[in-house]
C-alpha cells in the first residue's frame, strides 16, 4: 500500500538524529517549555523571517491563541474560506466570534480576493487566508483590502511550511501567523504541535500569556489564558526536521514534476502554481469529473489517494448556519466534488509515482463508469 502521506518514512529517514535528540531530552529531565522549545521557537521564527515564535499544543490552538491575541471575541466576525480543514473555523468559534465564509479561486483553491470586500461588515475584525495544499494565497490584494478596512490578517500556514510569496515566506506577511506540526505536515512532529509567529512584540507577549494560564510569572495570571504548550520532545524532533525542510520540500517539488509530466495527457486537471510563488506541495491535488471512481480504482490497486476536503465547512451539519444568503460558494462546492490528493512525500520514489501515473492512465483510457 502506498499511503497519501507517510510520517513513518520521514522518521526512518532521519532516525539516528531524531533518536539522539529525544534521548537528550529524556536524559535532561525537563519536558515542558525548556531549552529545546525556546531554541526551536527562535530557529523557526528566523526561518520564516519574523521576530517572535510561540510554541503551542497544536495548529488549532495556534489559531485560537492568535485570534485571542488580536482581541477578537464575541460579537466580532472573521472572514475565511469554507474550503479548508474545519480547524480554521473551529478556532474562530472558540473565541466566540462568528466565521464568515467566502469562495475560493478555482485555479489555486485559496481565498478569492475579489469576494473579500463584499463580505466585510461593521463587525468584521480579521481575515484568515489559508495557504492550502502548500500554495500561498494571493496576499497582496488581501492585505490591501484588510488595511483599507482596519482588519487584522491572520495567516493559516498549517500546510505551507517554507512556501514563498513574492520573495518572502508565508507567515511573514500578516499581523500574525499560525502553523501546525501534525505528523503529516511538511514539518511534522511525532505528535501534536503548533506555533504562533509575529513581528509585533505586543501580540507576541499576549500570545505567550494566553498559552499558559496568563502567567507573566509562575502562578500569577495577568490575563485569562489556557494550557497549550509545545513540549520538549516534540521541539527536539522539530529542530532536527527543520534542518532538512528545504531539502525535503525540494524533493516534493521534484516528485510533483514527475506527476506533471506523467499525467500531462490524461483527463485529470493538474495543480497550478501561482506566479512568483513557491508551492511546497504538501499535497498533490488533481481534479477529475470521475473522482470517486478513480479513488476507488486506486484503492483497489493499493494506492491511498485521499480527498481534501469532501464536504465544505458550510455544508457540514454543525456549520450550515454560517453561509449567508446570496453568497455564492460555487467554486468551493465544485472543488469538493472533484479534488483528489495523490500520494506525495519526500521518501516516495519517482518509480512509485510512475507506477501510480500508469494506473491513472489505464483508468483514464478504460471504461470505469
Tens-place pLDDT, residues 18-64? 999 999 999 999 999 999 999 999 999 999 999 999 999 999 999 99
Computed on alpha carbons and rounded to an integer, the radius of gyration of the chain in Å comes to 21
How many CB atoms neighbour CB 368 within 10 A? 12
CB 313 within 8 A of CB 86: yes
Q: What is the pTM of this model?
A: 0.97
Residues 220 and 268 in one domain: no
Residue 73 CA to residue 165 CA, distance in Å, equals 30
Residues 195 and 297 in one domain: no
- Which residues constitute the domain of residue 252? 245-365
Of 239, 271, 288, the last residue of a domain is 239
Question: Which residues are registered as beta bridge partners of 180?
Answer: 194
Residues 255 and 230 in one domain: no
Residues 178 and 285 in one domain: no
pLDDT of res. 325:
46
pLDDT of res. 184:
98
Of 193, 217, 239, the last residue of a domain is 239
In a domain, 1, yes or no: no
Distance of CA 325 to the CA centre of its chain: 28
Enter the C-alpha cell of residue 81. Answer: 474560506
pLDDT of res. 322:
83
Enter the C-alpha cell of residue 146. Answer: 484588510
Instruction: Tell which residue, 280, 272, 222, has the closest CA to residue 48.
Output: 280
Residues 45 and 134 in one domain: yes
Residues 297 and 182 in one domain: no
pLDDT of res. 368:
59
Q: How many domains would you assign to the chain?
A: 2
Residues 176 and 319 in one domain: no
Orientation angle between helical segments 350-365 and 291-300, nearest 10 degrees:
120
pLDDT of res. 324:
62
Say whether 282 sits in a helix, a strand or coil.
coil
**CATH number of the domain enclosing 203:** 3.40.640.10
Q: Which residues, in sequence order, are CB contacts of 205 under 8 Å at separation 6+? A: none
Q: Give me the residues of the chain with pLDDT under 50, please.
A: 325-326
Residues 153 and 27 in one domain: yes
Residues 201 and 280 in one domain: no
pLDDT of res. 360:
97
Residues 160 and 299 in one domain: no
Enter the C-alpha cell of residue 22. Answer: 529525544
- Per-position DSSP letters for 219-265, written without gaps between them: TEESS---B---BHHHHHHHHHHHHHHHHHHHHHHHHHHHHHHHTTT
Tens-place pLDDT, residues 57-100? 999 999 999 999 999 999 999 999 999 999 999 999 999 999 99
Residues 115 and 198 in one domain: yes
Amino acid at each position: 500500500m502506498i499511503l497519501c502521506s507517510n510520517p513513518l518514512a520521514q522518521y526512518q529517514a532521519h532516525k539516528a538524529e531524531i533518536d539522539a535528540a529525544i534521548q537528550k531530552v529524556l536524559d535532561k529531565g525537563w519536558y515542558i517549555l525548556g531549552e529545546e522549545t525556546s531554541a526551536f521557537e527562535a530557529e523557526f521564527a528566523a526561518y520564516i523571517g519574523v521576530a517572535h515564535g510561540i510554541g503551542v499544543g497544536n495548529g488549532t490552538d495556534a489559531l485560537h491563541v492568535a485570534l485571542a491575541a488580536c482581541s477578537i471575541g464575541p460579537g466580532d466576525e472573521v472572514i475565511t474560506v469554507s474550503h479548508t480543514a474545519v480547524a480554521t473555523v473551529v478556532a474562530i468559534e472558540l473565541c466566540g466570534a462568528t466565521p464568515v465564509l467566502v469562495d475560493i479561486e478555482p485555479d489555486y483553491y485559496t481565498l478569492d480576493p475579489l469576494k473579500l470586500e463584499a463580505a466585510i461588515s461593521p463587525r468584521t475584525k480579521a481575515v484568515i487566508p489559508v495557504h492550502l495544499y502548500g500554495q500561498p494565497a494571493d496576499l497582496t490584494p488581501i492585505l490591501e483590502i484588510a488595511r483599507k478596512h482596519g482588519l487584522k490578517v491572520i495567516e493559516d500556514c498549517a500546510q505551507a511550511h517554507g512556501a514563498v510569496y513574492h520573495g518572502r515566506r508565508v507567515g511573514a506577511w500578516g499581523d500574525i501567523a499560525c502553523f501546525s506540526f501534525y505528523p503529516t505536515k511538511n514539518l511534522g512532529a511525532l505528535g501534536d504541535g503548533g506555533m504562533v509567529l509575529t513581528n509585533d512584540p505586543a501580540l507576541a507577549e499576549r500570545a505567550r500569556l494566553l498559552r499558559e494560564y496568563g502567567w507573566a510569572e509562575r502562578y500569577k495570571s495577568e490575563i485569562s489564558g489556557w494550557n497549550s504548550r509545545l513540549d520538549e520532545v516534540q521541539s527536539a524532533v522539530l529542530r532536527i526536521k527543520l534542518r532538512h525542510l528545504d531539502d525535503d520540500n525540494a524533493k516534493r517539488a521534484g516528485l510533483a514534476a514527475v506527476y506533471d509530466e506523467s499525467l500531462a495527457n490524461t483527463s485529470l486537471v493538474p495543480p497550478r502554481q501561482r506566479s512568483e510563488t513557491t508551492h511546497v506541495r504538501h499535497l498533490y491535488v488533481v481534479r477529475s469529473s470521475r473522482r470517486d471512481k478513480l479513488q476507488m480504482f486506486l484503492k483497489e490497486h493499493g494506492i491511498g489517494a485521499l480527498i481534501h476536503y469532501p464536504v465544505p465547512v458550510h455544508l457540514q451539519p454543525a456549520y450550515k448556519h454560517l453561509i449567508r444568503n446570496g453568497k455564492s460558494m460555487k467554486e468551493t462546492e465544485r472543488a469538493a466534488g472533484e479534488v483528489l490528493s495523490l500520494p506525495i512525500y519526500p521518501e516516495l520514489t519517482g518509480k512509485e509515482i510512475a507506477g501510480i501515473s500508469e494506473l491513472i492512465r489505464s483508468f483514464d483510457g478504460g471504461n470505469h463508469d
